[in-house]
């Protein structure tokens, strides 16, 4: 899966699940400061991303706890998914 496909999946999760605008979804946007997510949103985000990637690829996809802790920006999400899929 290339960066463009990953970006499409991740951005759709933010727009559909968290009601964010596409313009807010810059690679350096901080999940908690810029996008105003809280810790519960962080958990929901990981679950939504896992489901979205599975729906797109047809394969089970999990973000382990250590990788989830590394998710600080939108770009970090793109990186982890791109490397994992």
Q: Where are the domains of the chain?
A: 3-84
Tens of pLDDT, residue by residue over 71-80, are 999 999 999 9
* Section 50-59 average pLDDT: 96
pTM: 0.94
Separation between Cα atoms, residue 20 and residue 15, nearest integer Å: 5
Which pLDDT score is estimated for 9? Answer: 97
CATH node for 3-84: 1.10.1200.10
Which pLDDT score is estimated for 14? Answer: 98
Separation between Cα atoms, residue 24 and residue 27, nearest integer Å: 9
Separation between Cα atoms, residue 60 and residue 38, nearest integer Å: 26
14 and 25 Cβ atoms separated by less than 8 Å: yes
Tens of pLDDT, residue by residue over 7-52, are 999 999 999 999 999 999 999 999 999 999 999 999 999 999 999 9
């Amino acid at each position: 899966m290339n960066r463009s496909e990953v970006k499409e999946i991740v951005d759709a999760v933010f727009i559909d699940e968290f009601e964010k605008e596409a313009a807010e979804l810059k690679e350096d946007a901080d999940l908690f400061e810029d996008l105003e997510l809280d810790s519960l949103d962080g958990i929901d985000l990981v679950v939504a991303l896992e489901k979205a990637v599975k729906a797109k690829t047809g394969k089970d996809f999990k973000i382990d706890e250590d990788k989830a802790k590394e998710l600080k920006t939108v770009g970090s999400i793109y990186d982890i998914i791109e490397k994992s899929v």
